Amino acid sequence: MNDTLLIIEDEALLADELRRRYTGRGWEVLVTRDCSSASRLLIDEGLDPLVVISDINLPDGNALDLLEKVRSIKSGGEWIFLTGWGGVPESVRALRLGAFDFLEKPCEMERLDVVMEGAARSGRAQRKLRDQTNNAARRYQPEAFIGHSQAARRVREMLAKLSAVPLSALIITGETGTGKGLAARILHYTGARRDSSLVELNCAALPRELIESEIFGYEAGAFTGARSRHRGLIEQAAGGTLFLDEIGEMPMDLQAKLLKAIEDRKIRRLGGEREIDVDLQVVAANHRSLAAVVAEGKFRSDLYHRLSVFCLSLPPLRERKEDLDELVPAFVEEFNVKSGKRVRVIPEEVWLQLRAHHWPGNVRELRNVIERCVLLSIGESLPVQWLNIETTLLPKNATDNVRLTIPLDGSMSLEEMDRYIIESTLQRHGFNVTATARALGTTRETLRYRIQKYNLEIPSARID
């Protein structure tokens, strides 16, 4: 399909010359003589040209007014203005309205060809970005948080409400793998900032010396190796959303700098001398309660209160196992499409194991399990032998009917396994520290240390 060029020109000879020239270059060319005809094509009939070549002074109006009207509704392609009566005010207004270029008549056709090539490249890039944004907007709706449980319905309702209001910041909490990244994308792509960028950073994934330069950017020469200017993530997210995952891992000095940036809506690149205005929404996420991290003295209370305009808590999968009925078929279908498999049947034995598992890695663990099973399937049945979720851990001196199951598929870190074992054993012993320590074959002092380390909630009456 050829790219569409719309020509708005009342001079018949010039319009015909442009039509012949660009039809011969593979364009689908449409010509109109006035603003009303162009408005009917662009607005009433929904024409979406890649490039528009237009005169400014037309028989029934000013094409700059038409551009302003079109821009208020949709993109409308890249506009190139040709005029014999243009001056500085018209050219300034054209560029402010987003016109690609402003050329005076008579214009050499070779020069117009060069401008057309640049406008076409820019138009295609913008169209690709717009299509990606539209696809993401369709994908990341509240319904993407799958499940029919009361907990899942409550999350969807809150996501729909939050996306409808202009929040400057909010916090999402939930265990690892509960879908915090998904919730952040839903909030962005269903909110007022959907047409701007969503920029994501996992604060636990970068070393201390790189986080500051990544978030705030830097000027050339700011430090050894800084050969050119780098726009930080806050700048890149201007007008859109900055998603900071595991924000509790951010160093304290950077927390103060982030707070100032959010409060003042200004940043300064490392090595920079001027402040840059930024307007963005900040979504922060953490696998632990940030209030608890504040209480431990590891997170600034002023930043916490600035971010906590609203706090959204995501439930673990073990508290909504009825949602497996929807999650499992959805993941099976996803990986069928990606791998070309044709899994259609989920045996009852598979369902029994899935429902009996504790899912310490939550939805991420489930997704990994289903991906493995689909990829290794042979026929239309989901193979039970590849579930690998029945790993038995027997504490010292434990009886055979007391066991914990954990995944060994990489969905849990060693520290997460340690926390899960301690928390589950405490629950089974009614939070009796002495009995729990005995069951785990350790001392009460060691157990108390780990309880504090993992910030486990223990009833005060049972802590001794």
Position 218 scores a pLDDT of 92
Q: What is the dihedral of CA 175, 179, 185, 189, to 10 degrees?
A: -130
12 by Cβ neighbours in 10 Å (0-12 / 13-18 / 19+) ranks as: exposed
What pLDDT band is residue 441 in, cutting at 50, 70 and 90? Answer: confident
Q: How far apart are CA 107 and CA 116, in angstroms?
A: 13
What pLDDT band is residue 183 in, cutting at 50, 70 and 90? Answer: very high
What pLDDT band is residue 388 in, cutting at 50, 70 and 90? Answer: confident
- Count CB neighbours of 279 within 10 A: 12
Q: How far apart are CA 147 and CA 156, in angstroms?
A: 9
Q: How far apart are CA 359 and CA 97, in angstroms?
A: 53
pLDDT at position 401 over 50: no
Contact between 279 and 239 under an 8 Å Cβ cutoff? The reply is yes
Peptide bond into 89 cis (omega under 30): no
Position 15 scores a pLDDT of 92
Sequence-distant (6+) residues with CB within 8 A of 172 are 180, 183, 184, 283, 284, 285, 286, 311, 312, 313, 314
pLDDT at position 98 over 60: yes
Fold of the CATH domain 413-464: Arc Repressor Mutant, subunit A (1.10.10)
Position 180 scores a pLDDT of 96
> Distance between alpha carbon 410 and the CA centroid of its chain, in Å?
24
pLDDT at position 97 over 80: yes
Give the least confident one: 87-101, 224-238, 288-302, 367-381: 87-101
pLDDT at position 402 over 70: no
Q: Which residues of 306-318 are buried (b: 16+ CB within 10 A; e: fewer)?
A: bbeeeebebbbbe
For range 361-389, the mean pLDDT: 92
Sequence-distant (6+) residues with CB within 8 A of 223 are 213, 270, 271
Q: How far apart are CA 281 and CA 162, in angstroms?
A: 12
For range 152-176, the mean pLDDT: 94
pTM of the model: 0.69
Span(s) in the chain for CATH 3.40.50.300: 156-313
What pLDDT band is residue 202 in, cutting at 50, 70 and 90? Answer: very high
Position 86 scores a pLDDT of 59
Who has greater pLDDT, 393 or 188? 188
Position 85 scores a pLDDT of 67
For range 353-380, the mean pLDDT: 92
| Element spanning 51, H or E | strand 51-54
Q: Tell me the CATH number of domain 316-396+404-410, given options 3.90.1150.10, 3.30.70.1350, 1.10.8.60, 3.30.930.10.
A: 1.10.8.60
Q: Could you report the per-residue pLDDT of 267-290, keeping only the tens digit for each?
A: 999 998 899 999 999 999 999 889
pLDDT at position 397 over 50: no
Q: How far apart are CA 341 and CA 335, in angstroms?
A: 8
Position 137 scores a pLDDT of 74
pLDDT at position 393 over 50: no
CB-side exposure of 17: number of CA atoms within 13 Å? 11
Position 181 scores a pLDDT of 95
* 156-313 CATH: 3.40.50.300
Position 34 scores a pLDDT of 92
Rounded to 5 degrees, φ, ψ at 193 are -100, 20
What pLDDT band is residue 449 in, cutting at 50, 70 and 90? Answer: confident
| Element spanning 19, H or E | helix 12-23
31 by Cβ neighbours in 10 Å (0-12 / 13-18 / 19+) ranks as: middle
Select, from the ranges 96-100, 211-215, 398-402, the one with the highest average predicted confidence (pLDDT): 211-215
β-pairing, 281-286 vs 241-245, is parallel
**Quick one: CA dihedral 211, 256, 306, 295, positive or negative?**
positive
Q: How far apart are CA 228 and CA 219, in angstroms?
A: 6
Position 463 scores a pLDDT of 46
pLDDT at position 32 over 90: yes
Q: Could you report the per-residue pLDDT of 36-46, keeping only the tens digit for each?
A: 999 999 999 98
Helix, strand, or coil (residue 54) = strand
> Distance between alpha carbon 359 and the CA centroid of its chain, in Å?
25
> DSSP for 381-402?
BPPGGG-----EE--TT--TT-
Q: How far apart are CA 274 and CA 269, in angstroms?
A: 8
Span(s) in the chain for CATH 1.10.10: 413-464
Position 93 scores a pLDDT of 83
pLDDT at position 460 over 60: no
CA distances from 150 to 146, 243, 445 (A): 12, 27, 40
pLDDT at position 238 over 60: yes
Q: What percentage of residues in the chain have a pLDDT greater than 90?
A: 58
* Angle, helix 414-428 to helix 433-440, in steps of 10 degrees: 130
Position 303 scores a pLDDT of 96
Q: How far apart are CA 99 and CA 64, in angstroms?
A: 9
| Element spanning 170, H or E | strand 169-173
For range 121-148, the mean pLDDT: 86
pLDDT at position 458 over 80: no
Q: How far apart are CA 114 and CA 80, in angstroms?
A: 12
Architecture of domain 4-136 in this structure: 3-Layer(aba) Sandwich (3.40)
Q: What percentage of residues in the chain have a pLDDT greater than 70?
A: 94
Mean pLDDT score of the chain: 88
pLDDT at position 155 over 50: yes
Q: Could you report the per-residue pLDDT of 278-328, keeping only the tens digit for each?
A: 999 999 999 988 999 999 999 999 999 999 999 999 999 999 999 999 999
Structure tokens at 120: 């076409």
